Structure 1
Amino acid sequence: MFNEETRFDEPLRWAMVGGGRGSEIGYAHRSGAQRDGLFRLVAGAFDLDPARCRDFGTNLGLDPARCYADYRALFAAEARRADGIQAVSIATPNSTHYAIARAALETGLHVICEKPVTFRVSEAEELKRLACERNRVFGVMYGYSGFPMLHQAREMIRRGELGEIRIVNLQFAHGFHNTEIERYNPGAKWRMDPQVSGPSFVVGDLGTHTFFLAGMLTGLAVERLCCMRQSFVASRSPLEDNAHVMLQFRGGAVGTLWASAVNAGSTHQQKIRVVGEKASLEWWDEHPNQLRYEVQGQPVQILDRAMNYLYSEVPSIGANRIGAGHAEGFFESWANLYYRFALAMDAADRCDTATLDTLWYPGIDAGIDGVRLVECCVESADNEARWVQF
Structure 2
Amino acid sequence: MFNEEMRFESPIRWAMVGGGRGSEIGHAHRAGAQRDGLFQLVAGAFDIDPARCRDFGTKLGLDPTRAYADYLSMFRLEAARLDGIQAVSIATPNATHYAISKAALEAGLHVICEKPVTFSADEARDLQRRAQAAKRVFGVMYGYAGFPMLHQAREMIRRGDLGDIRVINMQFAHGFHSDEIEKHSPGAQWRMNPAVSGPSFVLGDLGTHTWFLAGMLTGCEVERLCCMRQSFVHSRAPLEDNAHVMLQFKNGAVGTLWASAVNAGSMHQQKIRVVGEKASIEWWDEHPNQLRYEVQGQPAQLLDRGMGYLYNEVPGIATNRIGGGHAEGFFESWANLYHRFGLAMAAADCDDQATLESLWYPDIAAGVEGVRLLECCVESADNGARWVNF
**TM-score clears 0.5:** yes
2:350 and 2:6 mapped to 1: Cα distance?
16
Q: Kindly indicate whether residue 6 of structure 2 is the aligned counterpart of residue 6 of structure 1.
A: yes
Q: Kindly indicate whether residue 259 of structure 2 is the aligned counterpart of residue 259 of structure 1.
A: yes
Match of 1:206 in 2: 206
Correspondence list, 1:112-123, <5 A: 112-123=112-123
2:291 and 2:272 mapped to 1: Cα distance?
10
CA deviation string 1:237-273 (max 9, x = no partner): 0000000000110110000000000000000000000
2:27 and 2:235 mapped to 1: Cα distance?
30
One-letter amino acid of the structure 1 residue matched with residue 218 of structure 2: T
1:389 and 1:40 mapped to 2: Cα distance?
44
1:36 and 1:214 mapped to 2: Cα distance?
28
One-letter amino acid of the structure 1 residue matched with residue 231 of structure 2: S
Q: How many residues align?
A: 390
TM-score between both structures, scaled by the size of structure 2: 1.00
One-letter amino acid of the structure 1 residue matched with residue 105 of structure 2: L
2:103 and 2:257 mapped to 1: Cα distance?
34
2:94 and 2:182 mapped to 1: Cα distance?
17
Secondary structure of 1:16's match? strand
Match of 1:96 in 2: 96
2:341 and 2:389 mapped to 1: Cα distance?
32
1:237 and 1:155 mapped to 2: Cα distance?
41
Deviation at 1:315, TM superposition (A): 1.7
Deviation at 1:154, TM superposition (A): 0.2
Match of 1:324 in 2: 324
2:215 and 2:339 mapped to 1: Cα distance?
21
Correspondence list, 1:212-223, <5 A: 212-223=212-223
Deviation at 1:6, TM superposition (A): 0.8
Q: Kindly indicate whether residue 33 of structure 2 is the aligned counterpart of residue 39 of structure 1.
A: no
Match of 1:65 in 2: 65
Correspondence list, 1:216-255, <5 A: 216-255=216-255
Q: Kindly indicate whether residue 275 of structure 2 is the aligned counterpart of residue 275 of structure 1.
A: yes
Deviation at 1:286, TM superposition (A): 0.1
Match of 1:352 in 2: 352
1:256 and 1:239 mapped to 2: Cα distance?
20
2:378 and 2:386 mapped to 1: Cα distance?
11
1:193 and 1:366 mapped to 2: Cα distance?
24
1:185 and 1:357 mapped to 2: Cα distance?
42
Percent of pairs identical after alignment?
79
CA deviation string 1:79-130 (max 9, x = no partner): 0000000000000000000000000000000000000000000000000000
One-letter amino acid of the structure 2 residue matched with residue 308 of structure 1: G
Secondary structure of 1:139's match? strand
Match of 1:314 in 2: 314
Match of 2:152 in 1: 152
Match of 1:304 in 2: 304
Q: Kindly indicate whether residue 338 of structure 2 is the aligned counterpart of residue 338 of structure 1.
A: yes
Match of 2:166 in 1: 166
TM-score between both structures, scaled by the size of structure 1: 1.00
One-letter amino acid of the structure 1 residue matched with residue 52 of structure 2: R
Secondary structure of 1:42's match? strand
1:317 and 1:309 mapped to 2: Cα distance?
11
Structure 2 spans left out of the alignment, 5+ residues? none
One-letter amino acid of the structure 2 residue matched with residue 315 of structure 1: P
One-letter amino acid of the structure 2 residue matched with residue 38 of structure 1: L
Match of 1:18 in 2: 18
CA deviation string 1:49-105 (max 9, x = no partner): 000000000000000000000100010000000000000000000000000000000
One-letter amino acid of the structure 1 residue matched with residue 57 of structure 2: G
1:317 and 1:222 mapped to 2: Cα distance?
26
- Off by >6 Å, runs of 4+ in structure 1: none
| CA RMSD in angstroms, aligned pairs only | 0.4
Match of 2:175 in 1: 175
2:319 and 2:376 mapped to 1: Cα distance?
34
One-letter amino acid of the structure 2 residue matched with residue 72 of structure 1: L
